[in-house]
Amino acid sequence: MSLNRRDLFRLPLARLSAAVADEPLQRPRPAPGSEPGLLMSHPEAAPPRVRVIAYGPLEITECEVDDLALLETMAGRWPVLWVNVDGVAHAPTLQRIGDIFGLHRLALEDLGEQAQRPKAEAYDDHLFVITRMARLTPALDLEQIAVFLGADFVLTFQERPGDVLDPLRQRIRNGHGRLRRAGADYLAYAVIDSIVDHYFPVTESYADRLDDIEDEVVGRPTRDTMNRLHLVKRDMMALRRAVWPMRDALSTLARDPSSLISTETQVYFRDTHDHVIQILDLVETYRDLGSSLTDLYLSAVSNRMNEIMKVLTIFAAVFIPLGFITGIYGMDVEHPRAWWWGLPFIFGLMAGTALIVLLWFARKGWLARNEP
């Protein structure tokens, strides 16, 4: 869950400590004017968890690395080496991994910036891609994931443990399909494609929420309906900010020639690019639907207020002439004795007046419930 300062004041106190505890540690920002590519550690950052899957067409090994010297011995000895790092706040670990695989210092510096815009950058012997992973936990969680692609390795850096890549890991273990026979570029495609495809169930979940909200708005909207609609619109905006730049990044990978991505794999990147466009279309559609539901909610509230004002106006219109009659009859004036029938006459006059007013309202159509 990603929090800003304004969100902290909205959270109940019981949830505040848990929400802050779930936040990943962020590396301190270098001082203005510092050397480019300077890495700084968070004071409380521990060495991240490093997991490795090394495989070829016929063999596979999987382990958790406690000593980065083991990682150095494995580099360059397998057809494909996938290194996954959970945590980006410990600068010495990042620097050591960068030295082992020859990563550019500017790319390593970008790992600690959690507000990075999704992008794809090419360096001399590797590609650097930043994307965002979407999950519902149950709130919307957008986590930054960085992918490095080299000739025989793929490095993925996550802000914290847990991702949507377990099905991909299982495919590698099973050895089915072309994943084990292909190179590192196809693994990088599979990682990015898994992240992108997980946006579909997230957007479908919001579609179900909007359907429920629409039923409430059309039926009997409440203040809670508007609050939930506002949360959905805010999450749609966050999804749009995450998906929109991914379209440009994947367009670069799918169309720009690179020695690290084969022509055959570029076809698969184009397919992922199409998926991003589909997701973006869905997000835009749901944003428009949220805006339409907001207008519908305001119209429903306005119509409901008009109904209330109409009822009050009818009551006032009926009792105004009755009050006038009772005011005239109640004046301190002596009447002849023939007025002993005056009380029944006044009651009848009041009833007749009220009936005439109601009949006139009915003829005008002002008593119909479907009138605004």
The pLDDT tens digits of the residues spanning 253-272 come to 888 888 899 999 999 999 99
Nearby residues of 110 by Cβ (< 8 Å), 6 or more positions away = 116, 128, 130, 146
3-state secondary structure of 254: helix
Tell if the pTM clears 0.85, that is, is over it: no
Q: How many residues does the chain have?
A: 372
| pLDDT computed for residue 21 by the predictor | 37
| pLDDT computed for residue 12 by the predictor | 39
189, two tokens? 């495609």
Residue 138, preceding bond cis, omega within 30 degrees? Answer: yes
Nearby residues of 70 by Cβ (< 8 Å), 6 or more positions away = 63
pLDDT in tens, the chain (372 residues): 444 434 433 433 333 333 333 556 665 666 665 666 666 666 666 788 999 999 999 899 999 988 888 998 998 889 999 999 998 888 888 899 999 999 998 888 888 777 788 999 999 899 999 999 999 988 899 999 999 999 999 999 998 888 899 999 999 999 877 899 999 999 999 999 999 999 999 999 999 999 988 888 887 777 888 888 889 999 999 999 999 999 989 998 888 888 899 999 999 999 999 999 999 999 999 999 988 888 888 777 777 777 777 777 777 777 777 676 666 666 554 555 555 566 676 677 777 777 877 777 777 666 665 543
48, two tokens? 């991240």
| pLDDT computed for residue 13 by the predictor | 34
CB atoms within 10 A of CB 102: 13
User: For residue 76, is it left (φ>0), alpha (ψ between -120 and 50) or beta?
Assistant: left
Helix (H) or strand (E) holding 268: helix 263-329
- Cβ proximity of 42 and 29 under 8 Å: no
3-state secondary structure of 62: strand
Q: What angle do CA 134, 137, 139 make, to 5 degrees?
A: 80
The values of phi and psi at residue 204, to 5°, are: -65, -35
The values of phi and psi at residue 314, to 5°, are: -65, -45
- Interatomic CA distance for residues 164 and 185, integer angstroms: 19
In sign, the C-alpha dihedral spanning 342, 346, 348, 349 is: positive
Nearby residues of 364 by Cβ (< 8 Å), 6 or more positions away = none
Task: Note every long-range contact of 181-185, with CB atoms under 8 Å and residues 24 or more positions apart, other chains counting.
Answer: 181/57, 182/265, 183/79, 183/80, 183/152, 183/262, 183/265, 184/80, 184/81, 184/149, 184/150, 184/151, 184/152, 184/153, 184/154, 184/260, 185/149, 185/260, 185/261, 185/262, 185/265
Q: What CATH number is given for 1-179 in this structure?
A: 3.30.460.20
- Interatomic CA distance for residues 105 and 110, integer angstroms: 9
Helix (H) or strand (E) holding 50: strand 49-55
Burial class (CB in 10 A: 0-12, 13-18, 19+), 212: exposed
180, two tokens? 């084990």
Strand residues in 70-212 grouped as ranges (E): 80-86, 119-122, 127-136, 140-149, 153-158
- Interatomic CA distance for residues 201 and 178, integer angstroms: 25
| pLDDT computed for residue 28 by the predictor | 61
